Amino acid sequence: MSGPALPKLTLAYYPGCSQTGTAAEYDRSSRACCAALGVELVDVPDWTCCGSTPAHTVDHFLAGALAARNLLQAELAGFDRVTTPCPSCLAALRTASHHLAEKAPAENGAPQDSGPNYRTEVERLLDRPAPLRASAVSVLQVLTEDVGLEAMTSAVTRPLTGLRVAPYYGCIMNRPPGLMQFDDPENPTAMDRVLTACGATVVDYPFKTECCGAAFGMPRLDIMQRLSARLLDMAASCGADAIVVACPLCQMNLDLRRGQVNAKAGTSHTMPVPYFTQLLGLALGLPESGLGLDKLVLPLGPALEAARAREDKRAALAQAELAARAARKNGAPANGNGPKENTPCA
Amino acid sequence: MQTPVQPLDLAQARDPDFQAAVARESGQALASCYQCGNCTAGCAYTPDYDFPVHQVMRLVQLGLKERALSCRSIWLCATCQACTTRCPNNIDVAKVMDVLRHMARRAGYAPERGVKTFTDGFLASVAKHGRIFEVGLAAAFAIKSGKPMQDAGLGLPMLTHGKLSFTPHEPEGNGKAEVAAIFARFDRVAADKSRAETVSSAKPADKTGGGK
Amino acid sequence: MRIGVMVCHCGNNIAATVDVEAVAAAAREFPDVVFATDHMYACSDPGQGTIEQTIRSLKLDGVVVASCSPRMHEVTFRRAVERAGLNRYMFEMANIREHVAWISLDRKRNTEKATDLVRMAVEKLRHNRPLTAKSFEVQKRVLIIGAGVAGIQAALDCAEGGLDVILVERRQSIGGVMSKLDKTFPTVDCSVCVLGPKMVDVGQHPRITLHALSEVEELSGYVGNFEVKVRKKAPFVDWTKCTGCGACLEKCPSRKVPDSHNEGICTTTAITIPFPQAIPKRAAIDPTVCLHFTKGKCGVCKKVCPADAIDYDMQDEIITEKVGAVIAATGLDLFDHRKCGEYGGGRYPDVITSLQYERMLSASGPTAGHIKRPSDGAEPKTVVFIACVGSRDRSVDRPYCSNFCCMYTAKQAILTRDHIPDSRAYVFYMDIRATGKGYEEFVRRAQEEYEVQYIRGRVAQIHPTTGPDGNQLMVRGADTLLGVQVEIRADLVVLAVGAESAHGAPALAEKLRISYDAYGFFLESHPKLRPVETNTVGVFLAGACQAPKDIPASVAQASAAAGKVLALLSKDKLESDPQIAQVQTIRCIGCGKCERTCPFGAIRMRELRDGSKRAEVVETVCQGCGICSVTCPVRAIQLAHFTDSQLLAEVNALCRTWDETTES
Is C485's CB within 8 Å of B52's CB? yes
Specify the DSSP element, H or E, that contains B155.
helix B155-160
Residues sharing a CB contact under 8 Å with residue B143, sequence separation 6 or more, in sequence order: none
User: Do residues B76 and B126 lie in contact, with contact meaning Cβ atoms separated by under 8 Å?
Assistant: no
State the pLDDT at residue A333: 52
Those chains having 3 or more beta-carbon pairs within 8 angstroms of chain C are: A, B
Contacts of C498 in chain B (CB under 8 A): none
Task: Pick from C463, C472, C476, C491 the residue to mutate for testing the A interface (most A CBs within 10 Å).
Answer: C463
Is pLDDT above 50 for A20? yes
Specify the 3-state DSSP secondary structure of B100: helix
Averaged pLDDT, C15-44: 96
Residue C599: CB atoms within 10 A of its CB come to 11
Bond prior to C186 in cis (omega within 30° of 0)? yes
Distance, in Å, from the CA atom of C95 to the CA atom of C118, rounded to the nearest integer, reads: 9
Q: Which one-letter amino acid corresponds to residue A164?
A: R
State the pLDDT at residue C661: 57
Contacts of A207 in chain C (CB under 8 A): 463
Contacts of C456 in chain B (CB under 8 A): 37
Percent of chain B, pLDDT > 70?
Answer: 91
Task: Pick from A171, A186, A227, A231 the residue to mutate for testing the C interface (most C CBs within 10 Å).
Answer: A186
Nearest to A215 by CA among C635, B141, C654: B141
Q: What angle do CA A17, A221, A206 make, to 5 degrees?
A: 80
Is B101's CB within 8 Å of A57's CB? yes
Bond prior to C280 in cis (omega within 30° of 0)? yes
Distance, in Å, from the CA atom of C3 to the CA atom of C14, rounded to the nearest integer, reads: 22
Distance, in Å, from the CA atom of B163 to the CA atom of B186, rounded to the nearest integer, reads: 32
Contacts of A259 in chain B (CB under 8 A): 153-154, 157
Q: Chains A and B: how many Cβ contacts under 8 Å?
A: 204
Indicate the residue of A56, A125, A171 with minimum beta-carbon distance to B185: A125
Q: Scanning every residue of chain C, which has its alpha carbon at the shortest distance from the alpha carbon of B84?
A: C395
Distance, in Å, from the CA atom of C69 to the CA atom of A270, rounded to the nearest integer, reads: 81
Indicate the residue of C395, C477, C480 with minimum beta-carbon distance to B88: C395
Indicate the residue of B27, B90, B105 with minimum beta-carbon distance to A58: B105
Nearest to A180 by CA among A211, A148, A140: A140
Helices marked H in C4-147: 20-28, 45-58, 70-83, 107-127
Q: Say yes or no: A186 contacts chain C, CB-CB below 8 A.
A: yes
Helices marked H in C252-342: 291-295, 300-304
Averaged pLDDT, B18-33: 94
Distance, in Å, from the CA atom of C472 to the CA atom of C491, rounded to the nearest integer, reads: 5
Give the pairing of strands C134-137 and C573-576. antiparallel
Q: Say yes or no: A104 contacts chain C, CB-CB below 8 A.
A: no
- The model's pLDDT over C595-653, given as tens digits with 9 standing for 90+, comes to 999 988 889 999 999 999 999 998 877 889 999 999 999 999 999 999 999 999 999 99
Contacts of A184 in chain C (CB under 8 A): 341, 345
Q: Scanning every residue of chain C, which has its alpha carbon at the shortest distance from the alpha carbon of B50?
A: C483
Contacts of C486 in chain B (CB under 8 A): 41
Q: Say yes or no: B72 contacts chain A, CB-CB below 8 A.
A: no
What is the least distance, in Å, from the CA of C496 to any CA of chain B?
Answer: 16
Strands (E) in C324-411, as ranges, are 325-328, 332-334, 351-353, 382-389
Averaged pLDDT, A215-236: 96
- For residue C5, the cross-strand partners are C36, C64
Q: Scanning every residue of chain C, which has its alpha carbon at the shortest distance from the alpha carbon of A233?
A: C465
Q: Scanning every residue of chain A, which has its alpha carbon at the shortest distance from the alpha carbon of B24?
A: A114
- The model's pLDDT over C571-587, given as tens digits with 9 standing for 90+, comes to 999 888 899 999 999 99
Q: What angle do CA B77, B80, B83 make, to 5 degrees?
A: 85
Q: Torsion angle, CA of C14/C19/C23/C26, rounded to 10 degrees?
A: 180
Q: Scanning every residue of chain C, which has its alpha carbon at the shortest distance from the alpha carbon of A187?
A: C341
User: Within its chain, how far is the Cα of C414 from the centroid?
Assistant: 32
Least confident of A330-339, B35-44, C286-295: A330-339
Contacts of B26 in chain A (CB under 8 A): 110
- Buried-exposed string C181-203: b where 16+ CB fall within 10 A, e elsewhere: bbbbbbeeebbbeebbebbebbb
Instruction: Please tell me which residue, C328 or C659, carries the higher pLDDT value.
Output: C328
Distance, in Å, from the CA atom of B187 to the CA atom of B194, rounded to the nearest integer, reads: 10
Q: For residue A346, name the pLDDT band (cuts at 50, 70, 90).
A: very low
Residues 454-513 (C) with a CB less than 8 A from some CB of A:
461, 463-466, 471, 474
Q: Scanning every residue of chain C, which has its alpha carbon at the shortest distance from the alpha carbon of A108?
A: C394
State the pLDDT at residue A115: 61
Helices marked H in C569-614: 593-597
- Do you know the residue count of chain B? 212
Task: Pick from A58, A98, A226, A256 the residue to mutate for testing the B interface (most B CBs within 10 Å).
Answer: A58
Domains and CATH numbers, chain B: 13-107 (1.10.1060.10), 113-196 (no CATH)
Q: For residue B206, name the pLDDT band (cuts at 50, 70, 90).
A: very low
Residues sharing a CB contact under 8 Å with residue C436, sequence separation 6 or more, in sequence order: C186, C407, C550, C552
Is C464's CB within 8 Å of A207's CB? no
Indicate the residue of A186, A187, A206 with minimum beta-carbon distance to C464: A206
Averaged pLDDT, A152-173: 96
State the pLDDT at residue C613: 92
Contacts of C464 in chain A (CB under 8 A): 204, 206, 345-346
Residue A326: CB atoms within 10 A of its CB come to 10
Contacts of B88 in chain C (CB under 8 A): 388, 392-396, 458
Instruction: Please tell me which residue, A139 or B2, carries the higher pLDDT value.
Output: A139
Domain residue ranges of chain C, discontinuous segments joined by +? 3-131, 135-233+318-331+504-573, 234-315, 334-500, 577-640
Query: A337: exposed, middle or buried (C-beta count within 10 Å: 0-12, 13-18, 19+)?
Result: exposed
- We find that the CATH architecture of domain C3-131 is 3-Layer(aba) Sandwich (3.40)
Distance, in Å, from the CA atom of A99 to the CA atom of B26, rounded to the nearest integer, reads: 12
Residues sharing a CB contact under 8 Å with residue C562, sequence separation 6 or more, in sequence order: C153, C154, C157, C158, C161, C327, C542
Which superfamily is assigned to C135-233+318-331+504-573 in CATH? FAD/NAD(P)-binding domain (3.50.50.60)
State the pLDDT at residue B10: 85
Q: Torsion angle, CA of B27/B30/B31/B32, rounded to 10 degrees?
A: 90
User: Within its chain, how far is the Cα of A142 from the centroid?
Assistant: 12
Nearest to C35 by CA among C22, C16, C51: C51
- The model's pLDDT over A24-49, given as tens digits with 9 standing for 90+, comes to 999 999 999 999 999 999 999 999 99
Indicate the residue of A187, A207, A345 with minimum beta-carbon distance to C345: A187
Q: Scanning every residue of chain A, which has its alpha carbon at the shortest distance from the alpha carbon of C470?
A: A346
Instruction: Please tell me which residue, C510 or A336, carries the higher pLDDT value.
Output: C510
User: Do residues B178 and B137 lie in contact, with contact meaning Cβ atoms separated by under 8 Å?
Assistant: no
Domains and CATH numbers, chain A: 9-103+117-138 (1.20.1050.140), 150-305 (3.40.50.11810)
Is pLDDT above 90 for B201? no
> What is the largest distance, in Å, between two alpha-carbon atoms of chain C?
97
Distance, in Å, from the CA atom of C305 to the CA atom of C284, rounded to the nearest integer, reads: 13
Give every strand in the sheet of C424-429, ordered side by side.
C351-353, C492-497, C382-389, C424-429, C453-456
What's the distance, Cα to Cα, between the start and end of chain B in Å? 20
Averaged pLDDT, C237-256: 95
Is A218's CB within 8 Å of B151's CB? yes
Indicate the residue of C345, C465, C466 with minimum beta-carbon distance to A186: C345
Averaged pLDDT, C536-548: 96
Backbone angles phi, psi at C20, to 5 degrees: -65, -35
Distance, in Å, from the CA atom of A128 to the CA atom of A184, rounded to the nearest integer, reads: 36
- We find that the CATH architecture of domain C334-500 is 3-Layer(bba) Sandwich (3.50)
Percent of chain C that is helix, strand, coil (3-state, to 5) = 30, 25, 45
Q: Say yes or no: B34 contacts chain C, CB-CB below 8 A.
A: yes
Which DSSP string do the residues of C641-658 spell out, in sequence order? Answer: TS-HHHHHHHHHHHHHHH
Distance, in Å, from the CA atom of B134 to the CA atom of A86, rounded to the nearest integer, reads: 16
Indicate the residue of A108, A186, A207 with minimum beta-carbon distance to C342: A186
Q: Assess whether the region C135-233+318-331+504-573 and the region C334-500 belong to the same CATH fold.
A: yes
C-alpha count within 13 angstroms, C-beta hemisphere, residue A334 = 5
Averaged pLDDT, C585-593: 94
Q: Which one-letter amino acid corresponds to residue C71?
A: R
- The model's pLDDT over A57-95, given as tens digits with 9 standing for 90+, comes to 999 999 999 999 999 999 999 999 999 999 999 999 999
User: Do residues A147 and A3 lie in contact, with contact meaning Cβ atoms separated by under 8 Å?
Assistant: no
The whole-model pTM stands at 0.88
Those chains having 3 or more beta-carbon pairs within 8 angstroms of chain A are: B, C
What is the least distance, in Å, from the CA of A342 to any CA of chain C?
Answer: 15
Those chains having 3 or more beta-carbon pairs within 8 angstroms of chain B are: A, C
Is pLDDT above 60 for A177? yes
Nearest to A219 by CA among B94, B75, B126: B75
State the pLDDT at residue B208: 41
Distance, in Å, from the CA atom of C416 to the CA atom of C424, rounded to the nearest integer, reads: 8
Distance, in Å, from the CA atom of C8 to the CA atom of C642, rounded to the nearest integer, reads: 24
DSSP A192: H
Least confident of A334-343, C125-134, C354-363, C481-490: A334-343
Is C345's CB within 8 Å of A237's CB? no
User: Do residues C273 and C283 lie in contact, with contact meaning Cβ atoms separated by under 8 Å?
Assistant: yes
Residue C15: CB atoms within 10 A of its CB come to 17
Indicate the residue of A113, A218, A226 with minimum beta-carbon distance to B118: A218
- The model's pLDDT over A247-260, given as tens digits with 9 standing for 90+, comes to 999 999 999 999 99
Q: Chains B and C: how many Cβ contacts under 8 Å?
A: 70
Helix axes A60-76, A87-101, angle to 10 degrees: 90
Least confident of A135-144, B193-202, C495-504: B193-202
Q: Say yes or no: A346 contacts chain C, CB-CB below 8 A.
A: yes
Is pLDDT above 50 for C207? yes
Mean pLDDT of chain A: 91
Instruction: Please tell me which residue, C379 or C621, carries the higher pLDDT value.
Output: C379
Residues sharing a CB contact under 8 Å with residue B54, sequence separation 6 or more, in sequence order: B33, B35, B36, B37, B39, B40, C478, C480, C483
Q: For residue B18, name the pLDDT band (cuts at 50, 70, 90).
A: very high
- For residue C225, the cross-strand partners are C222
CATH number listed for the domain at residues C577-640: 3.30.70.20
Q: Which one-letter amino acid corresponds to residue C274?
A: P
Q: For residue A324, name the pLDDT band (cuts at 50, 70, 90).
A: very high
- We find that the CATH architecture of domain C234-315 is 2-Layer Sandwich (3.30)
Q: Scanning every residue of chain B, which has its alpha carbon at the shortest distance from the alpha carbon of C477?
A: B41
Instruction: Tell me which long-range contacts B136-144 makes (C-beta under 8 A, separation of at least 24).
Output: B136/B168, B138/A218, B141/A218, B141/A219, B141/B117, B144/B117
